[in-house]
Structure 1
């Protein structure tokens, strides 16, 4: 790793639950500062609590540092302290660069202004000249994929559209550090793939990221090091696999302590309907998926982070036919969870008459230990009608990721959206 870009020393912040006491304490703290004592006392007064306490961390050039923890653990407060939005009660934040950009769920956009106006305002605020903005603005709009809505007020945008626009703007600035606070899930699958690819190139070029997320796939696939935050303090620090496992154990312990008599969830084992996005076409049935295999490339067991091959064999009555191949991954409790999609648009695969074989490789499987199901669809490239399905109306293909013994410690339980798994197709 490179030089230190961010450092915190004994960083702490306290708040008061009682509004009346809070006002009194604020006046006392101002008086404390007038006495040339810039830091508060290392004690809690009546009604106070530590939202963040004694946090020491470093972020280096070329490093991705993840920050995870339960809701209310103090992650957002820590980010606000780091960005200077809040003043610390104790401790220091030291930046060794001024090229820092933060992307959160609001994305720093003005809701009353149009997307185009936000592009001009944000880039101007970061010192980009008007002529350069004019030269870049069409590229930014095309990259965001919201051309139709660019002259509408941002307040009418969905959260995903906001994040896509903000991301398209901020990538033009090439900062030393990106701080991403719960903003990795915006946009559709293709945009998320583009976002992930950009971040990987950015890291390889020496950029640094501090990412706060509940999405363990993002943490596992991006981060070099992860901090587990619990009740305002650093609970543990280490490699992603280790910390994610510890986080799941901690969350299970919290759940068991708060609701030891929770009712058992009954899982519907009846055949699942075809997804709404999979539209049966007139040619459905002219292609038959015969065999599906999931294997570790090294010939051993499939484990988290191992290189895995997904292979599908089908028989087609169609010849020279452009198609999209899609593998969807999930669990019995949650499906779909992730997707591996082949080429589409102007670059596509073609079915030949007779037997066809398609395979893709995942260099580092972003799944924690557990039992997963795989469903496959073959879709027409132009009109997106479905030609063949496997696992949607019949039994899916199951595969198991080995690792820790407790298979319930699966990060997928907390997923709220579909993620794209980077693959190499052959």
Structure 2
């Protein structure tokens, strides 16, 4: 398509989305849930079609020599497809936030003032690689009363279109407009430039992908953006940590999956436990092929460790690479995280209640954890059904963005003939 044709195509999508958003905003909960359940059933039924479409994308990815982390995010498995369907069913089971009234109270004038939860309107979602985002985004936007325009990465075009067919089928079966969720069919990047500047039709943009994509969207968008730039996540092992728990958690936080934004990138170890625990963890990591980069103190304990640079402390590897630093105590751990972290997810392993409380209070991240793995920072694991992304912003939404993060509130006022004196 030419630039003019793409502009016309995107304007058409926007107009249809705006019209659909008004219908979805007033849709009954039962109809939205019916659509979500039908989407899940279609995804389960079409498992083989989805795997075949994904195989085409994976073949193209290998021809293009895409990075291992990208291929990992692109890959759909039977388990992943089942998880997509389960996520939609979980969203259907969640309470409908739309129309919820809170804080209703009488004012001296006799009026009642409260807040009602309402949809955002039309949400544009731009993402790379992960085909499951297509189902998650469709489900969350629909349940929150919004219309959505989805633009997946060109590397997942076949997978995304196959999932989109299941989404449309679900919407149609519930009598809702199929244009409530539209997946952009062109891979031309010009479409993204149009999407993020269509202020008449788009109410908010949610980018999901690498730092380069999110920086571009944030810089060029003319509509509000819910974003996170990267996930530089930490685990701090305190000298009062349970040894076995610490080993298990530090292993899982790094090696359960490498290419995710909630994977640990830096391990901080208290000097009081380092001599005992680092040799054990070092062997685990090295046996799994993880490259270790450490400060001078850590390298005296693990000889095969490469020296860490200043840049390493603020790097999101998304790969089997881990930075390790030995520190003197909680203050230094908190200072390191607040200086080098990305305000995504950070954890402390300790049996000291007071230190755990300080860590929760003083670490400035969207998710802060005690005695568990950073890999739990996820909408599905948090009981949100799924997530649209993980926001490290501080305004509107922070952390995994589920249904509530895709809504706003308006003031409502109830009177009985009162007038202002």
With a CA cutoff of 8 Å and minimum separation of 6, indicate the structure with the bigger relative contact order.
2
Q: Verify same fold: TM over 0.5.
A: no
Q: Answer with 1 or 2: which has the greater Rg.
A: 1
